[in-house]
Amino acid sequence: MDKKEKEFFVQAVYDVVRIIPYGRVTSYGAIAKAIGHSNMSRMVGRVMSDCKACPENIPAHRVVNSHGKLSGKDAFGCAAEMQKLLETEGVIVVGDKIKKFEILFWDPLQEI
């Protein structure tokens, strides 16, 4: 069991999420791919839910699935919290989905 590998993965996820620009969003799969694990999209989601203590420096609300849907909003304590945070940043959300997702999408690979 390589705990270090697991920790490295987790830290890599945090590092990427932390550099997501204000008012922009990305997907679990994009993050997974950016850190060299294109098939670990589910793990990225797991990492986010595990970070319950979600420090403010980790804007997990800017991470949605490939369809621009807020699949993890229920993990923010209050279901409306995630959407609220996004709208505060100017991101329009309707029916749990982000409007202009293709425009607001931010690809980590472009920064790395």
Partner DNA sequence: GGCGTGACTATGG
Partner DNA sequence: ACCATAGCCACGC
* Residues within the interface to DNA (CB under 7 A): 6, 27-30, 39-46, 48-49, 51, 54, 60-61, 63, 65-67, 71-72, 74-76, 82
**Cβ at position 90, least distance to DNA in Å:** 19
The H-assigned helical ranges of the chain are 3-18, 28-34, 41-50, 81-88, 101-104, 108-111
Separation of alpha carbons 62 and 105, rounded Å? 10
- Which is nearer to DNA, 77 or 90 (by Cβ)? 77
Q: Based on CB atoms, which residue is closest to DNA, 90 or 96? A: 96
Nearer to DNA, 18 or 42 (CB): 42
Give CA separation, 102 vs 28, 53, 95, in Å: 15, 30, 17
